[in-house]
Amino acid sequence: MEIVILLGAPGSGKGTIASRLAGEDPAVRHVSSGDLLRGAIAAGTPAGVEAKAYMDKGQLVPDALVVAMIGDVIAAEKTAETMLLDGFPRNVAQAEALERSGAKVRSAVLVDVPDEIIADRIAGRRTCPKCKAGYHVKALPPKVEGICDKCGAALTVRKDDNPETVRDRLVVYHRETEPLVAYYEAKGLLRRIDGDQGPVRNAAAFKAAM
């Protein structure tokens, strides 16, 4: 199995792209570190309890916790040919841990969206708490307002999607995560796509780049 890393700011559309590609091809698996952490919080596990305080503030959860969690998911995967890693690694220490684990990284694709567009995108973001499907009130609305197309659950706004926390998450992104662009560029693994083409074309561009 090979790993493709999705790089990009919060709200750049990484999750939408990855779930679209995984939905089209059973050999592709989408793994979102944020969804795993939100699942751990909902389940009340010790990892979830530890992670919650950081996530509510828009800060990164400690590396050891996330590295162990993603390591378990990679080790348990038996059938996928490609794993799309969405939200991990989030800093250079995590990228180095991934490399030390021996996992094979095929590419790291930067979904490029200017910060000015991000705040707007996140303001309209809605998520299904049950099946994790993502929507946007304007760009990707559900068929019935407020209801998940896939499983019928009531859509919610993520707790960390409020404007103040989004600002903090963008600061963290530029400081901690953006250095990964240079990290993967130096390894010859970086690709870039314009992430402002709409959900269908973004996914097609990503597929061609990865």
Instruction: Give the residue numbers annotated as catalytic, written as ranges.
Output: 14, 90, 125, 158, 169
128 binds ligand AMP (CB under 6 A): no
Going by DSSP bridges, is the β-strand pair 2-7/82-86 parallel, antiparallel, or unpaired?
Answer: parallel
6 binds ligand AMP (CB under 6 A): no
Cα(10)–Cα(5) distance, integer angstroms? 14
155 binds ligand AMP (CB under 6 A): no
Nearer to ligand AMP, 32 or 205 (CB): 32
What are the Cα distances from residue 169, in Å, to 65, 82, 121, 140, 188?
Answer: 19, 28, 14, 23, 27
CA 16 and chain centroid, separation? 9
User: Of 19-27, 50-58, 95-103, 111-119, which part binds ligand AMP (CB under 6 A)?
Assistant: 50-58
Peptide bond connecting 89 to the previous residue in cis, omega within 30 degrees of 0: yes
> Which two structure tokens, joined as six digits, stand for 180?
């990964």
Cα(154)–Cα(150) distance, integer angstroms? 11
Nearer to ligand AMP, 68 or 208 (CB): 68
Q: Which of 6, 21, 61, 98 binds ligand AMP (CB under 6 A)?
A: 61
User: Of 74-82, 87-95, 99-107, 132-140, which part binds ligand AMP (CB under 6 A)?
Assistant: 87-95
94 binds ligand AMP (CB under 6 A): yes
37 binds ligand AMP (CB under 6 A): yes
